Amino acid sequence: MGFYISTFSSKDIIKIQVWNKPKIVSEFSWLQNITWELLISPNLTKDFYLSLLKSVKNNLDIQVYTLTYDEIKKILRNLASWWTKIRIITESKKYKEQWSDFEKLKNYLEKYWVQVKSDENMWTNYIHTKLLLLDDNKFVIQTANLTYSSFFKNREFFFVSDNKLIFDNLKKIFEKDWNWQKILKSDIHPNLLVCQIDCREKLEYYLNTAKSSIYIQTQDIEDKSVRKILKLKSNLDLRIIVADNDNQKIVGDFGKDNVKLMKKPYLHAKSILIDDKYLIIWSMNLTQNSIDNNREISVVLIDSDVISKFKASFDKDFNKN
């Protein structure tokens, strides 16, 4: 049993089969170098992010778990009043939530002709993606929900790019979700991981091919298969930053020298750096439910400037007293 990585070009798509136990290779030649900007919150991202939203002219598609930040809702209302077409897919039945904000958001925005949908016909447990598609050329893949805390209280990562090939592929994925159509593995660009379609096999493949280092910064690590792989890789330079909540077992499993429990800012980021070469920014938590049941979207980055910025932030958080 294997998975398919599709190498996209402007003319065609070549399908390459990679088996579950592949020969370890030195370079992932099918990956494209996607560039632009990595933003890190709290505090340093809001103005850039809101300016980016305000710059939208014609189309804005959003797929996000929750949207409650009033300033963003006002921007969406203003954009819609100038006839910007806005579509939002968001979760209607959030985890442990007694009073859903879905109907509140829907009622508020649909007065301004903003279309709001849930994932009720998408065969997913939760819409947990954090994706924005701006006009016809920019996208944002982020770890953050569109909440006040994401910008002012949490450690979050936002990757912004105008890579047309990735944009077009994300647009295709969004359109399929919008129309409640099944996403196929062959639909997904090799730089992307889409749960629950191909993210587990791709994620485990990347982890298994690590040769020198694995740096993980995420809320928690509960998935048994991921933890098993990490234990097998404990001879590498393994560093893990998790939120300081109920994660003492991770310290016991991987050692206090390898694990940092992060108190402030609250760690909501979800990321992994492998061999200082492959950075994955994702929406998913490392839980069985996120990987196998939710809609999640991740991007694999190989740009050295983006990786250097991430690593400087990671080192600062890992070495913080």
pLDDT tens-digit profile of 276-302?
999 999 999 999 999 999 999 999 999
Answer yes or no: is 61 within a domain.
Answer: yes
Answer yes or no: is 13 within a domain.
Answer: no
> Tell me, what's the pLDDT at 120?
87
Q: What is the CATH number of the domain that holds 296?
A: 3.30.870.10
Same domain, 229 and 280: yes
Instruction: Give phi and psi for 186, each to the nearest 5.
Output: -70, -10
Where residue 210 falls among pLDDT bands split at 50, 70, 90?
A: very high
Confidence (pTM): 0.90
> Which of 155, 178, 201 is a domain's end point?
178
For 72-90, how does the pLDDT look when each residue is reduced to its tens digit (9 = 90+)?
999 999 999 999 999 999 9
> Tell me, what's the pLDDT at 18?
37
Where residue 165 falls among pLDDT bands split at 50, 70, 90?
A: very high
Answer yes or no: is 138 within a domain.
Answer: yes
Q: In this model, does residue 117 exceed pLDDT 80?
A: yes
CA-to-CA separations, 30 to 113, 191, 206, 311, in angstroms, rounded = 41, 8, 13, 23
Answer yes or no: is 77 within a domain.
Answer: yes
Contacts of residue 76, Cβ cutoff 8 Å, sequence gap at least 6: 53, 60, 86, 109, 112, 114
Same domain, 196 and 173: no
Same domain, 120 and 210: no
User: Into how many domains does the chain fold?
Assistant: 2
Domain that holds residue 293: 192-318
Answer yes or no: is 120 within a domain.
Answer: yes
Same domain, 171 and 206: no
Same domain, 123 and 174: yes
- The CA angle 182-185-187, to the nearest 5 degrees, is 75
Answer yes or no: is 1 within a domain.
Answer: no
> Which of 146, 178, 210 is a domain's end point?
178
Same domain, 41 and 96: yes
The percentage of the chain sitting over the pLDDT mark of 90, rounded to a whole number, equals 80
Name the residue with higher pLDDT: 95 or 125.
125
> Which of 178, 201, 232 is a domain's end point?
178
Same domain, 136 and 210: no
What average pLDDT does the chain have? Answer: 89
Same domain, 169 and 69: yes
Interatomic CA distance for residues 144 and 184, integer angstroms = 26
> Tell me, what's the pLDDT at 97?
63
Same domain, 229 and 284: yes
